[in-house]
Amino acid sequence: MRPIFFKTVAIKIINLYNTHMTTVDSLLTKIINHNFSDVEKVIPSRDSKILKTLATIIHDPVYITENQGRLLVKILKEHQDKFNEFENEISLVTATPTWARNFRVLQHVRKVYLTGAPSSQRITIEATFSADLRHKLSQLNKTVYGFVQEINGKLYSADLTEKNIVEIVDKLKPFNFDVSKELEDYYDIIKSWSEEDVKNQYRITTISHPNFEKQIISDLGINTAIDQNIINDRSVRYQYFVEKPENLPENLPKLLSCRAQTKVWVDKNQYTLDDLIGSIIELKRLPILVVFDSNDSKKCLESLKNLSNSLEEYGIFDDIGIYFRLDNTDVGKEFNQFISNKQYNCQLDSSTKIVGVQSGKIPKFLLKSDWKPMSVISLNTTLRHSKTAVYSNCCDLIATYSDSQPVIEARSPWE
């Protein structure tokens, strides 16, 4: 009996040795290949997805990282009682984990540099994944213009502007980002400027360049009387500095003219559409592109009637083109008939005063035409992430007329 006894003990020792020699990744492969669909029913779906993903990565040339290895061991330990015949093996293998290959070592990259052709350069931020860093980068979206994340999640980019350069370098330098020499040079030049000296060069009282005078005359006409509101209003268009009031202006023309950026919200509860149309006419900002809500036919009809009343209040009956129609429902028929009755179907040319389109849609002939709006009014809808929004960016006054302020748009200094 002794030979049989020793043989049994030897087999147990060999099995125990083989178990200890089993690597975590090879054990994972065995588990995945052995009725894993049954295990998926009794463990959280998130964990089962991770196990299947890691089972794929361990066979890739890049292999897994040390953190992924720790996560794999953690999941196996937490659910070892759910793996039935592998329970004991999991317990032994995860007690002193070994791996078939060396872990992939992540290269920690933190760089800021310029990319693209000289005429279309952008600021590019490259950073390997970090939860804390990703949060910091996402915050740049609030203060950096044109900030986008590329598809692979490792690259971010932003428009190449003086403000963006200073904002990005100031925010990322404390996190040990390597800033390219070219960007560093730009940053140093910008920081060396005196804000007051720069402003003094571009104040309305000091600009004497002939091209500036030519543009103003072309815009307003040589015999047009120019008041302070018009001077303030054109500062956004022609990029000169004027003194803006510190408090909320008392009337709508002044509110529009003292805007700090192209987009401005007009409170529907405080001002009528007559007020808005009248203010735009006072600021000599015809022609107007009017954007209607594309999601609500009833609101679309109501907005058209209100617009018609406001235009007629200021003597505008002709040179109006509403370049869309609604579906042939009861509301749609009334909308389409209203356009026909009012003859709001003029052919687009340089004399067209009012153009109406639906949010998210721009007729092709509008893109091919030389006609451009001096003002944009968005009725009960917000312009964002659409063809209409992109087209409207050619204009320096985009007024959203609604009863609640758009959440994502820039606010005026008084709000």
Structural domain contains residue 154: yes
Using one digit for the tens of pLDDT, what is the confidence trace for 83-115?
878 888 888 888 889 998 888 877 778 899 999
What does the pLDDT read at residue 371? 95
What does the pLDDT read at residue 317? 96
Lowest mean pLDDT across 245-249, 301-305, 346-350: 245-249
Are 83 and 33 in the same domain? yes
Pick 105 or 415 by higher pLDDT: 105
Residue 134, SS3?
helix
Say which residue the tokens 């029913």 belong to: 41
| Angle made by CA atoms 322, 334, 309, in degrees to the nearest 5 | 60
CATH number at residue 296: 3.40.50
The tokens for 395 are 């204009």
Whether residue 1 is predicted with pLDDT greater than 60 in this model: the reply is no
Are 269 and 385 in the same domain? yes
Separation CA 143–CA 393 (nearest Å): 19
The pLDDT confidence band at residue 14, using thresholds 50, 70 and 90, is very low
What does the pLDDT read at residue 9? 47
As a whole number, mean pLDDT of residues 168-172 equals 92
The tokens for 72 are 């794999």
Handedness of CA 69, 71, 73, 76 (dihedral sign): negative
Separation CA 237–CA 219 (nearest Å): 11
Comparing C-alpha atoms, which of 357, 352, 355, 366 is closest to residue 326? 357
As a whole number, mean pLDDT of residues 25-53 equals 86
- The residues, ordered by sequence, that sit 6+ positions from 152 with a Cβ below 8 Å of its Cβ are none
Whole-model pTM above 0.85? no
Domain boundary among 41, 72, 95: 95
Whether residue 410 is predicted with pLDDT greater than 50 in this model: the reply is no
Q: Give the β-pairing of 375-379 and 320-322.
A: unpaired
CB 203: neighbour CB atoms within 10 A? 13
Pick 71 or 3 by higher pLDDT: 71
As a whole number, mean pLDDT of residues 260-282 equals 93
Which domain, by its residues, includes 304?
Answer: 224-402
Pick 301 or 16 by higher pLDDT: 301
Are 260 and 381 in the same domain? yes
Structural domain contains residue 203: no
Domain boundary among 95, 123, 155: 95
Whether residue 19 is predicted with pLDDT greater than 60 in this model: the reply is no
Are 245 and 327 in the same domain? yes
The tokens for 203 are 């104040």
Cis peptide before 287 (omega within 30 of 0): yes
Question: In the sheet that 288-292 helps form, which strands lie side by side, from edge to edge?
Answer: 263-267, 398-402, 375-379, 288-292, 354-358, 320-322
What does the pLDDT read at residue 223? 65
Structural domain contains residue 351: yes
Structural domain contains residue 204: no
Structural domain contains residue 104: no
What does the pLDDT read at residue 405? 83
Question: Percent of the chain at pLDDT above 90?
Answer: 40
Are 252 and 315 in the same domain? yes
- The residues, ordered by sequence, that sit 6+ positions from 294 with a Cβ below 8 Å of its Cβ are 300, 358, 359, 360, 361, 381
Bridge partners, residue 112, by sequence: 125, 179
How far CA 370 is from CA of 213, 214, 406, in Å, comes to 23, 20, 30
Are 261 and 374 in the same domain? yes
Whether residue 252 is predicted with pLDDT greater than 50 in this model: the reply is yes
In the DSSP assignment, the letter for residue 65 is: B
Are 266 and 368 in the same domain? yes
Q: What are phi and psi of 289, to 5 degrees?
A: -95, 120
Structural domain contains residue 43: yes
Are 89 and 143 in the same domain? no
Structural domain contains residue 412: no
As a whole number, mean pLDDT of residues 178-204 equals 87
What does the pLDDT read at residue 336? 96
Are 355 and 285 in the same domain? yes
- The residues, ordered by sequence, that sit 6+ positions from 232 with a Cβ below 8 Å of its Cβ are 242, 244, 254, 257, 258
Separation CA 402–CA 415 (nearest Å): 16
Helices (H), 22-151: 24-33, 36-40, 45-57, 66-78, 87-95, 131-140
CATH number at residue 158: 3.30.780
Lowest mean pLDDT across 222-231, 279-288, 386-395: 222-231
Whether residue 201 is predicted with pLDDT greater than 90 in this model: the reply is no
Separation CA 204–CA 86 (nearest Å): 80
Comparing C-alpha atoms, which of 284, 231, 282, 277 is closest to residue 258? 231
Are 247 and 370 in the same domain? yes
Using one digit for the tens of pLDDT, what is the confidence trace for 172-187?
888 889 999 999 999 9
Structural domain contains residue 211: no
CB 215: neighbour CB atoms within 10 A? 14
For the chain, the domain total comes to 3
Are 48 and 170 in the same domain? no
Domain boundary among 193, 215, 242: 193
